[in-house]
């Protein structure tokens, strides 16, 4: 019979190469690699039948789908032209030992049910390894079932599974130490990067994802390795199609930043992606508008603070992560953004998410939008015309009760547009809106700092107490050492709302 091929090589050649690689590792005295162990032992050189099939349809970043020979004879095999990562690099060859249950194939199904949460979970590696036509190994988790641990101290359901397993002699269930040689396909992104990056280069962690895009903030130390890092991430994260690196500060009228595409789809054009957050789906151009996935929880908290009688005016709505979920629970929501592209995506997102409905959408400066909404209500009342049943409904639907400014770098600077913008007849004191403004603070007392700055922008004393009673503060997150992102929520003070312009 013809032997199966792996990346153009026979499985025999693959096994021979891996054996040569592991011998080289042992000869080099690599720490953490054990050459011996308990008497009851099994040893496996992984071949394709031991691995899970790839779950994504994206082409592999190398010609071979499996870790091919790492011997001296094949070490010169270059990486694919599409990737700077050589899957055949012998540094990926890793010998590991795990506990396993050797059992008849007929008993594996029952064992898997009993060993739940204590089987090995590694990318693309099957928990069950078939030894021959009659016997298999069930690999155990290295955390709860360590190789060097006390066998009597194993989790109770593991011990129960061994005790209750049917069969005697060769058909008995036996606890063994299983030695495997893992390759590139068996390692996660962090493990791969630790093997290819120099010891003094930090492995990037905690990066942001936006749908199918990974957003990195690489340091100078990563510059020579940035495309290797990107290639590993795009290969190891099945849902990711593009990896970008931030190359400039966030700024400009639309709060965007310069970026470079390190791997995957993109280039210099739009980077369209789709993000799911708080039950809704948002399409966007990641390059052309501001988005931060880390703020999803905070956006959810803010929407949760609204009630069914609120009329919300979102002055910096972006693609709608606050305005759209708010529209599902509030009486009415008006959305505005200065970025015309973001407003266009907002319209698409409103159409695709069932149950969302915006009372109005504008593409204006925040101050212009505020004045336009106030003037619209005044004009409707003066004309005495409305599609609503009566004047009371007109007040209810058009007079906003909450104003959101989700622009931490500039929300407080927008507050002067509220000064003197209201009249007592249309907006009596009890109807003045609550303002939810986000801001950054480097102060040791960020609450007092943000409150004082807000009061000053409203033309009041530079003191948080000038905002009145019932002011709420929240430390959203620490964006850098000593720099907080803050939320300040307060009812617009009468002295600012009715001030002479």
pLDDT of residue 72: 29
pLDDT at 190 over 80: yes
Over range 347-376, report the average pLDDT: 97
Task: Point out the least confidently predicted range of 3-12, 18-27, 238-247, 364-373.
Answer: 3-12
pLDDT at 493 over 70: yes
Over range 379-407, report the average pLDDT: 78
Angle at Cα 455 formed by Cα 453 and Cα 458, nearest 5°?
110
SS3 state at 290: coil
pLDDT at 403 over 70: yes
Identify the burial level of 152 via C-beta atoms within 10 angstroms of its C-beta, where 0-12 means exposed, 13-18 middle and 19 or more buried.
exposed
Structure tokens at 15: 């096994």
pLDDT of residue 156: 92
> Position of tokens 């040689």?
181
How high does pLDDT run on average in the chain?
85
157-164, Cβ contacts within 8 angstroms, sequence gap of 24 or more = 157/114, 157/115, 157/116, 157/118, 158/115, 158/118, 160/114, 161/101, 161/111, 161/114, 161/115, 162/101, 164/114
- Measured between its terminal Cα atoms, the distance across the chain in Å is 92
pLDDT digits (tens, 9 = 90+) for 266-303: 888 899 999 999 999 999 999 999 999 999 999 999 99
Cβ count within 10 A of residue 254: 16
Task: Point out the least confidently predicted range of 72-81, 241-250, 321-330.
Answer: 72-81
pLDDT digits (tens, 9 = 90+) for 234-264: 999 999 999 999 999 998 899 999 999 999 9
Task: Point out the least confidently predicted range of 62-76, 145-159, 215-229, 332-346.
Answer: 62-76
pLDDT at 46 over 90: no
Over range 344-363, report the average pLDDT: 97
How far, in Å, are 61, 170, 362, 483, 499 from residue 288 at the CA level? 28, 65, 18, 26, 38
- Taking the C-alpha atoms of residue 474 and residue 303, their distance in angstroms, rounded to an integer, is 14
């Amino acid at each position: 019979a013809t032997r199966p091929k792996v990346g153009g090589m026979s499985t025999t050649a693959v096994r021979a190469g891996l054996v040569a690689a592991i011998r080289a590792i042992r000869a080099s005295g690599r720490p953490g690699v054990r050459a011996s162990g308990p008497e009851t032992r099994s040893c496996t050189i992984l071949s394709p039948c031991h691995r899970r099939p790839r779950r994504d349809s994206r082409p592999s970043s190398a010609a071979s789908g499996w870790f091919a020979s790492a011997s001296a004879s094949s070490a010169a095999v270059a990486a694919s032209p599409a990737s700077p990562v050589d899957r055949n690099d012998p540094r990926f060859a890793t010998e590991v030992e795990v506990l396993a249950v050797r059992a008849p194939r007929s008993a594996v199904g029952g064992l898997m049910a009993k060993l739940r949460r204590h089987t090995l979970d590694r990318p693309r590696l099957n928990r069950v390894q078939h030894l021959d036509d009659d016997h298999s190994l069930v690999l155990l988790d290295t955390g709860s079932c360590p190789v060097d641990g006390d066998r009597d101290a194993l989790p109770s359901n593991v011990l129960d599974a061994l005790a209750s397993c049917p069969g005697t002699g060769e058909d008995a269930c036996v606890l063994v130490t299983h030695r495997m040689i893992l390759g590139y396909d068996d390692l996660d992104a962090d493990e791969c990067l630790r093997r290819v990056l120099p010891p003094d280069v930090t492995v990037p962690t905690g990066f942001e994802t936006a749908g199918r895009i990974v957003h990195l903030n690489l340091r100078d130390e990563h510059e020579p390795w940035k495309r290797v890092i990107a290639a590993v991430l795009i290969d190891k994260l099945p849902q990711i199609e593009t990896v970008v690196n931030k190359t400039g500060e966030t700024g400009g009228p639309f709060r965007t930043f310069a970026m470079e595409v390190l791997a995957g789809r993109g280039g210099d054009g739009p980077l369209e992606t789709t993000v799911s957050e708080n039950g809704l789906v948002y399409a966007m151009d990641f390059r052309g508008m501001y988005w931060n996935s880390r703020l999803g929880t905070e956006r959810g908290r803010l929407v949760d603070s609204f009630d069914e009688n609120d009329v919300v005016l979102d002055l910096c709505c972006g693609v709608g992560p606050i305005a759209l979920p708010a529209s599902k629970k509030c009486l009415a929501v008006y959305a505005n953004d200065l970025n015309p592209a973001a407003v266009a995506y907002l319209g698409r997102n409103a159409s695709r998410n069932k149950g969302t409905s915006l009372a109005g959408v504008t593409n204006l400066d925040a101050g212009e939008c505020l004045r336009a909404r106030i003037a619209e209500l005044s004009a409707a009342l003066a004309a005495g015309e409305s599609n609503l049943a009566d004047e009371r409904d007109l007040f209810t639907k058009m007079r906003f009760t909450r104003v959101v400014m989700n622009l931490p770098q500039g929300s407080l600077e927008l507050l002067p547009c509220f000064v003197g913008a209201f009249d007592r007849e249309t907006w009596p004191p009890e109807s003045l809106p609550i303002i939810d403004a986000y801001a950054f603070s480097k102060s040791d007392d960020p609450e007092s700092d943000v409150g004082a700055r807000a009061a000053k922008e409203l033309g009041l004393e530079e003191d948080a107490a000038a905002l009145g009673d019932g002011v709420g503060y929240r430390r959203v997150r620490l964006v850098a050492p000593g720099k907080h992102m803050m939320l300040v929520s307060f009812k617009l003070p009468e002295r600012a709302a009715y001030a002479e312009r």
